[in-house]
A and B are shown apart, each in its own frame.
Chain A
Amino acid sequence: MSNALPTVLFVDDEERIVRSLRMLFRGRAEVLATTSGRQAIEWVRQRRVHVVVSDQRMPEVTGVEVLRAVAQHSPATMRILLTGYADLDAVTASVNDGEIFRFVEKPWDAQHLIGVVAEAAAIAEREFAAPARPALRAVEPPAAKMLVLESDGAIAAQVHELLPSAITIRHATSLEAALDVLADEDIAVMVAELTSAHGDVAASLKELKRIRPALLAIVISPLRDSRVVISLINEGQIFRFLLQPPVRELLRRGLIAALERHAELRSVAELQHRHTVEPSREPNTTLSGRLARYWQRLRGSALGVRAG
């Protein structure tokens, strides 16, 4: 990592927020700050920006729209949403469209925000230094394996139907069965049905990301709770969040994007850093003891595709 300060861009329609953040990051980053989403997108096109921190509710352009444009123009730039309130639509859009690194709520904790931005900046710096991403076309058509975790077979059937037959699809009806499959086989993408906010499935998704950053999770859930999604973003770096029953086209696009991203992550290991998660904040999301054996196996499994 170079000694130069990383460039961090703040976008918020309230100028006092912008002023306050500029002050907070003085000496810690090269700060760009604006009250205009359009200006922010323009800057990202013109220069190398390590991290963009954006508000969600803004006139003209929403935060998710800004971050989506940023992802398009500068995929290596890390994206963080900093907002006072976000409804479920905004939060799911931030995962599915913005593919954000963290969701931080106002009023923020200064040390936490500094830490998150520094971490994001370091990841972006490594990525800027890494070999260029392969163009998507150059990515091998993935003969990858997929795992569907759900109680009945409805989603698995839909996934089968949506994907080319070259892709192997495993179906597990219990978490234990899913962890077994994960220990034995090299799974690229996991589609998981999430019916409880605090159960083992949510905790496992977070833990899995820690062990296998290249494993991408598509969560399908009836839970219309933005808190659940925020914790899955921050602590589980899930790839997509779809409300149950999933819209066919959204599921299809999510599956294809996940397979492509997985192939990318495997070809450029540096990219896996962007899937770094933060430790779980809720004590009740810790995994129950009955799963300990499975985790031991999983951690010991040689299949984990680690960076480096």
Chain B
Amino acid sequence: MNTISQPAPRTDAAAATSSAADLAHLVQPAAAIAPDVHVLDVGERILDAANARFLSLPIVARGLPVGAISRSELMRIYLMPYGRELYGRRPISAMMSRRPLVLRIDTPIDEAARAIAAHIRNPITEDFIVTSRDGHYLGVGAVLDVLRAVEDKLTRHGAELERAHARLKASQLQLVQSEKMASLGQMVAGLVHEINTPLGYVRNNVEMTRDAMNDPTALADADTREDLATLLDDTLHGIGEIGELVGNLKDFSRLDQARSDRANVNVLVDGALRIVQHLVRKRGIEIVRHAGEIPDIECSPAQINQVLLNLLSNAVQAIEHDKGRITVRTQALDGRVLVLVEDNGKGITEENLSRIFDPFFTTKPVGQGTGLGLAIAHQIIEQHGGLVRVASKRGTGTRFLVALPIAQPKVPTR
């Protein structure tokens, strides 16, 4: 907080500090009136052009403010029958308000505004007196100036807030994007391995077959011919596998679909299961699939895929033992399609359970989870007018339930 260390010379009070946060820049020099000055003389002073901008004038004795006299009070006196005659010769101390609002020069604007609101009545008839930090009179402050200063400050803060909000929004978008890229990267890494494995033996088998065809003695051998037949069967199998993997990827990555598309969640679940298949198989996890009769729903299939993939890969990651089982159940209920994903993994502590949908909350080591997967899933489900519930028990497993409406309630905003 900016303050002045000395009682500033009256006329320089405003210049003594440049802070916009306190009263220093609002204080206006006004010649103080001694308590024994007559009411009539005060009346003259208040009519003086130099004082035209003040609602009230300060009464100061020995440098300390003792009261204030307002324009409206003087008017009241003057308007009384014989008011001038009755009171004109009295000292102003008899007529002044003895409890003017006095604020130290280092009072923050906000605090000044609060004090003014508490002190001043409607209509506003008084300004306030500004003193140095040790209570000596410095000048007068206008209520309106404080209001303007407060408003300026709010506007400035508003602009700052808006900028901060814009920055946050941009970085959130970036994070959502990087979460997408992270899951995509994980998926691609798995798929690259899945594709390169069949590609490895397909290429090798084809090369060996070609070489054998150029070798009449090899072809004459019955055993070799049998071996080659096996290699070619393997090759066809491998090509089928590659084709299937690429097909899954193609279905999965159709990010251009609109929310208003219709899709069957069973189809989406099966597609997501195929994508995580390599993870599941490597860890020897059993998949139990109960596909109920469900109608197509209105949704963005790519987004629902993202949700399913997230739930499934979380389920896989939660399983740390070798008897892993993931149950995926779908069914229709009351105009909704329910998807249940249940694992028998390590479970989530009660403390963490309340936070799993919070953005950036993750229990994974640094660099391995963005903490956005479930937050995004939650958002997608909400945007679809659906809901997600979770139940978990340490050491037993976790169950996610997603409910999606069959028809979208209203036209999506995007």
Seen from chain A, the residues whose Cβ lies within 8 Å of a Cβ on chain B are 12, 14, 16-17, 19-21, 23-24, 55, 57-59, 82-85, 87, 105-108, 110
**Of B194, B205, B281, the contact of A20 (CB 8 Å cutoff):** B205
Decide: A24 near B208, CB < 8 A? Known: A59-B282, A87-B189, A107-B203: yes
Known: A14-B197, A17-B200. 6 other contacts (CB 8 A): A14-B201, A19-B234, A59-B283, A83-B193, A106-B199, A106-B200
Q: Give the distance in Å from the alpha carbon of A93 to the alpha carbon of B131 in the complex.
A: 73
Pair A19/B200 contact, Cβ less than 8 Å? no
Query: Quick one: which of A19, A20, A57, A58 has the most chain B CB within 10 A?
Result: A20
Q: Give the distance in Å from the alpha carbon of A105 to the alpha carbon of B282 in the complex.
A: 19
Pair A16/B196 contact, Cβ less than 8 Å? no
**Of A24, A57, A108, the contact of B193 (CB 8 Å cutoff):** A57
Q: Give the distance in Å from the alpha carbon of A24 to the alpha carbon of B193 in the complex.
A: 21
Q: Give the distance in Å from the alpha carbon of A85 to the alpha carbon of B194 in the complex.
A: 9
Contacting residues, chain A, for B230 (C-beta < 8 A): 19
Contacting residues, chain B, for A87 (C-beta < 8 A): 189
Closest 5 A/B residue pairs (Cβ): A84-B196, A106-B200, A85-B193, A20-B201, A107-B199
Q: How far is the CB of A243 from chain B (nearest CB, A)?
A: 11
Q: Give the distance in Å from the alpha carbon of A85 to the alpha carbon of B195 in the complex.
A: 10
Seen from chain B, the residues whose Cβ lies within 8 Å of a Cβ on chain A are 189-190, 192-205, 207-208, 227, 230-231, 234, 237-238, 281-284
Contacting residues, chain B, for A55 (C-beta < 8 A): 197
Q: Give the distance in Å from the alpha carbon of A107 to the alpha carbon of B238 in the complex.
A: 12
Pair B284/A19 contact, Cβ less than 8 Å? no
Residue of A nearest to B281 (CB): A59
Pair B231/A23 contact, Cβ less than 8 Å? yes
Interface CB pairs A-B, < 8 A, 20: A14-B198, A16-B198, A16-B237, A19-B230, A21-B204, A23-B204, A23-B205, A23-B208, A23-B227, A24-B208, A59-B282, A82-B200, A83-B193, A85-B192, A85-B193, A87-B189, A105-B196, A108-B200, A110-B204, A110-B208
Q: Give the distance in Å from the alpha carbon of A57 to the alpha carbon of B203 in the complex.
A: 20
Contacting residues, chain A, for B231 (C-beta < 8 A): 19-20, 23
Q: Give the distance in Å from the alpha carbon of A121 to the alpha carbon of B234 in the complex.
A: 28
Pair B192/A108 contact, Cβ less than 8 Å? no
Contacting residues, chain A, for B208 (C-beta < 8 A): 20, 23-24, 110
**Of B189, B204, B234, the contact of A107 (CB 8 Å cutoff):** B204
Q: How far is the CB of B324 from chain A (nearest CB, A)?
A: 11
